[in-house]
Each structure stands twice: as C-alpha cells, then as structure tokens.
Amino acid sequence: MRHAVVTGGAGFIGSHLCDYLISQQFQVTCIDNFITGSRKNIAHLIQNPNFRLQEHDVTQFISVDAPIDFIFHFASPASPIDYQKIPIPTLKVGAIGTHHALGLAKAKGATILLASTSEVYGDPLVHPQKENYWGNVNPIGPRGCYDEAKRFLEALTMAYHREHRLNTKIVRIFNTYGPRMRLEDGRAIPAFLSQALRNETISVFGKGTQTRSFCYIDDLIDGIFKLANTDYHEPVNLGNPTEMTILELAQKIIELTHSQSSIAFYPLPIDDPKTRQPDITLAQKLLHWQPKTNLEEGLLKTIHYFKEALS
C-alpha cells in the first residue's frame, strides 16, 4: 500500500483528506498537535489498521519511521480568530513547519503537496484572481501573520523544487466549508450557522457587500488529490467561482435553517478583502476539475452536522 503523511490531519480539511486517502487504499499517518485540530475529527479512524496518529508539533523536527510516497502539508491555523490569537505559532508553522515538511519529503523521496490560500492575494485589485496575480497584501496588518506565512511557504516550496528537484505541488485554497468546521471557527459559514441555529442575531461585518465564493469540502478534496498526481509544480487555485455577497449568504442561511434570527451590522475588520473569487481555468484544464456541489446542497449537509454538534 502507498503511504501518505498528512500534517494537520485532525483539522477540518486535513481530516477529510485522511478519510479520502484511506478510501483510496493508502496507509495514512496523521501528524497534529491539536492547537486547532480536534480529536473528534479523526475518532472514527483510530481503530482503522491503515491509520496512525502521531501527535507532534511540526515546528519541531519531523521523523516518520517508514517509507513515504506522499506528504500533504496542511498544518496551520486558518481562521482569523485563531491566527490573530496565535500569530507567532502561525508564522512558525508556515516557515519552520514547512521547512521540516519539505526536508522530510527530500529525505524520503516523497511527492509533497502544500496547502496555500487565496489570502496570498490579500485585498485584491484584480478580479477574479488568477494564479499569475501577485496580490495586494499588508505584511504588517493583523492578517499579515497568516498571509505572509503562506506566501513564504510558496517561496520556500519553489526554492526546494528548483534547487533539490523535489516533486512539489501548491494548492491555493479558496473559502471551503462543510462538516467538521468548528462552531467557534469565526469564519462566515460556521459563524452564521451557529447563530442562526440558536436564533441569535447574525453578525455581518461592514454592509455585507463584500463577496466570497464557497467550495464544499468534498469538491476540494477531489481537486487536491488530482493535483497531487500531476507533474505540475506552480500554484493552482481550487475553489468555487460562484460569487455572492456576505449579506446574501446570511439571508440564505436564515432561510435554510428556518431561523428567527435578525441581522446586525458591525465595523469591517482591518484588511478584510472586499472581493474573493477564484479563476479556476487552470484547474479545469490541468485537472479536468470543477466543483459539483451547489451552495444549497452543501449548506444543507453542513447544517445537519451543526445541528448534531449543538444538540
């Protein structure tokens, strides 16, 4: 059996990736220090003979005593609430953790796919965002710890590819949602769902006119696996190009949850992007990939998970 290592494997995306890899007949080693990941996300895998948990902080040297075919480096806080509380660990996992993951791939001769983010584009001046756009990022703002950690991750990855001929892949992930997101995650969909299901006032920042594009987790995982099996080394956008305003999202969630919630407006956070929409032309051509799950279908699955989590 092929062996894959998933750093951040107990996180939202990482745990779904572990599930998928096991379904594809991989042995999986999940590495996580549970700073934002959850043991609940992988509890169903613990007794699986093809799954192994290695509790470890990837900012410390990574050792895996087995041959490795693939490494998926997904270790990082991803929510503004998290990375603004722990900016230094966020920077360290993007820099030192990435260095260690790349070093492990080099030592094992493994293919490595690294998770970057649409946040490398910052508050974009180009819309929609293509991979050749260099971004508009404030490196010293409150979001800079995450944005610059991922930009450094990309630079270090390409340096390893060019200098050591390492087989690297970079995925730029746009807003993704689905089961296993934390209730207190703070991003739009989990925040709105938690409030709507409790019939609390929904908190919308600014006037709600800022736009986002939301990709369901199953579609993202499919694209990630396809990218891992290509010979392409530069960044690839993965996300759903269907764009909507945050206010429209809040209204849709109230509708689908049959909530009695009202909407209140609060000041827009510093450096909050005004627009976010992926250009997925490259993924369509390279991977023959595009998202299949529409927003309502994906939200209904996510609502079911959140209802159980709140019960």
Residues annotated as catalytic (active site), given as ranges = 146
278 alpha-carbon distance from chain centroid = 14
Distance between CA atoms of residues 119 and 261, nearest Å: 30
CA 28 to each of CA 85, 86, 90, 136: distance values in angstroms, whole numbers, following the listed order: 30, 28, 24, 37
Task: Residue 168: count other Cβ atoms within 10 Å of its Cβ.
Answer: 25
3-state secondary structure of 111: strand
Look up residue 287 and give its two tokens.
């991977």
Closest by CA position to 280, among listed 233, 210, 220, 209: 220
Structure tokens at 113: 């796919």
Task: List b or e across 245-279, with b for residues whose CB sees 16 or more CB atoms inside 10 angstroms.
Answer: bbbebbbebbebbebebeeeeeeeeebebebbbbb
What is the number of alpha carbons within 13 Å of residue 237 lying toward its C-beta?
29
Q: How far is CA 21 from CA 40, 50, 78, in A?
A: 18, 10, 22
